[in-house]
């Protein structure tokens, strides 16, 4: 599944091996669920990702310009994510 | 995880990606790797100093934003490769975003105190200068600063990142030192120098010895304008306990990075037979 050996998925489940984001994305896309669902951070498999106020680690310590840039980039990715979910 | 294992994991992961993407020759393009993995990559709009790059996740969608405040193609490619490291390296998701946050930012600089950042740096270096292709290139590159420049052009990497990687693969006696003012920031040595008996390794914060680099750093415009100078020194000027051998001392200012790179190298065979017998 998703190019993984069954033993690799079993290792992820048991915590013996830690997945990368690339592993998580491939699994999530194959199973049509969100990465947050795989990580146990959501109970519903297909809802959107983390809410805006939780997004930004160290956000308060960044310059105003960086904060503005990050917000703009988040909007671009959110739109791309929406299109992926809609299949458009 | 030990530093050695973390490096091995980064090296292996990078090598696998280069192979999976079908790259057989230099340079390796991090933008192409991102594109193939559906990672959206864009430059920051502002050129003011700040975060050098970040990896962001929104749902199942990933993006990398990189800064333009250091006008160096090698630096930009390294930044993108570093963020790809956070994406591809096992274990980074739960350690970077333990509470489910969706952003991880990185700041420029070659030596980080954070083990995850160091691993991502090592990944970037291994991705842009992969073992097989880079080793072969080193064999044909010659020696000293000219070799590093040639390799940097081939790999489209910064002089500093290339110099550091070069010390890992060359069979020659080479030391790469980055300094600012009168102090040493860090030093990388090839195995040939590391294996010398009785040699005291340079530490961060050590003072520069009297010589070409120290004189060069005395004038900040040398660094700003990326001037270069070729000189000679004795190896024991730099390393206590080293043999008294003449070395070339090539010095170059690193421009907006604000530091100086020194490459010490020699054509002479150094070391002794006893040291080799230990192997």
**For B139-177, how does the pLDDT look when each residue is reduced to its tens digit (9 = 90+)?**
999 888 899 999 999 999 999 999 999 999 999 999 999
In this complex, do A77 and B62 lie within 8 Å of one another by their Cβ atoms? yes
In this complex, do B40 and A50 lie within 8 Å of one another by their Cβ atoms? no
pLDDT-derived band at A71, boundaries 50, 70, 90: confident
| pLDDT greater than 50 at residue B278 | no
Residue A46: what pLDDT?
A: 57
pLDDT-derived band at B215, boundaries 50, 70, 90: very high
In this complex, do B51 and A28 lie within 8 Å of one another by their Cβ atoms? no
pLDDT-derived band at B104, boundaries 50, 70, 90: low
The question of ipTM being above 0.85 is answered as no
Edge-to-edge strand order for the sheet containing B53-58? B39-43, B61-66, B53-58, B103-106
Chain A positions touching B56 (Cβ under 8 A) are 70, 73-74, 77
Per-residue pLDDT, averaged over B225-248, amounts to 95
pLDDT-derived band at B97, boundaries 50, 70, 90: low
Q: Does any CB of chain B come closer than 8 Å to the CB of residue A79?
A: no
Show the tokens assigned to B152: 């940097």
Per-residue pLDDT, averaged over B237-244, amounts to 94
The CA-to-CA distance between both ends of chain B, in Å, stands at: 27
Q: How far is CA B116 from CA A15, A22, B92, B168, B192, in A?
A: 19, 16, 7, 21, 29
Å between B223 CA and nearest CA of chain A: 27
In a 3-state reduction of DSSP, which class is residue B187? strand
Interface of A with B in 25-64 (CB under 8 A): 25, 28-29, 34-36, 39, 41, 48-50, 54-59, 62-63
In this complex, do A34 and B51 lie within 8 Å of one another by their Cβ atoms? no
Q: Does any CB of chain A come closer than 8 Å to the CB of residue B37?
A: yes
* Chain A nearest-CA residue for B90: A20
Residue B99: what pLDDT?
A: 55
Report the relative pairing of strands B61-66 and B39-43 from DSSP bridges.
parallel
Q: How far is CA B174 from CA B30, B103, B116, in A?
A: 28, 39, 28
Chain centroid to CA B155: 12
């Amino acid at each position: 599944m998703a190019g993984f050996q069954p033993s690799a998925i079993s290792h992820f489940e048991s915590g013996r091996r830690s997945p990368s984001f690339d592993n998580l994305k491939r699994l999530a896309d194959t199973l049509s669920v969100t990465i947050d669902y795989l990580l146990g951070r959501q109970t519903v498999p297909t809802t959107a990702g983390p809410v805006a106020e939780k997004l930004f680690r160290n956000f308060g310590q960044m310059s105003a310009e960086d904060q503005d840039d990050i917000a703009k980039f988040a909007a671009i990715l959110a739109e791309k994510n929406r299109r992926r979910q809609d299949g458009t | 995880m030990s530093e050695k294992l973390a490096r091995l994991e980064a090296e292996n992961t990078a090598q696998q990606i280069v192979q999976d993407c079908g790259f057989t020759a230099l340079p390796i393009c991090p933008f192409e790797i991102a594109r193939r993995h559906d990672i959206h990559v864009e430059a920051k709009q502002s050129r003011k100093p700040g975060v050098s790059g970040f990896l962001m996740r929104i749902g199942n969608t990933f993006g990398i934003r990189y800064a333009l405040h250091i006008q160096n193609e090698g630096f930009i490619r390294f930044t993108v490769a570093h963020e790809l490291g956070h994406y591809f390296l096992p274990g980074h998701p739960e350690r970077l975003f333990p509470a489910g946050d969706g952003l991880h930012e990185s700041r420029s600089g070659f030596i980080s105190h954070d083990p995850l950042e160091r691993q991502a740096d090592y990944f970037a270096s291994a991705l842009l200068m992969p073992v097989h292709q880079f080793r072969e290139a080193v064999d044909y590159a010659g020696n000293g600063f000219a070799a590093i420049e040639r390799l940097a052009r081939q790999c489209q990497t910064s002089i500093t990142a290339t110099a550091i990687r070069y010390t890992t693969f060359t069979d020659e006696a080479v030391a790469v030192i980055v300094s600012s003012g009168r102090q040493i920031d860090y030093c990388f040595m090839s195995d040939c120098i590391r294996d010398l008996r009785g040699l005291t390794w340079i530490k961060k914060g050590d003072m520069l010895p009297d010589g070409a680099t120290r004189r060069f750093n005395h004038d900040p415009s040398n660094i700003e304008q990326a001037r270069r100078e070729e000189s000679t020194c004795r190896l024991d000027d730099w390393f206590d306990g080293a043999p008294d051998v003449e070395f070339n001392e090539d010095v170059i200012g690193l421009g907006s990075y604000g530091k100086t790179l020194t490459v010490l190298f020699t054509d002479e065979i150094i070391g002794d037979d006893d040291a080799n017998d230990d192997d």
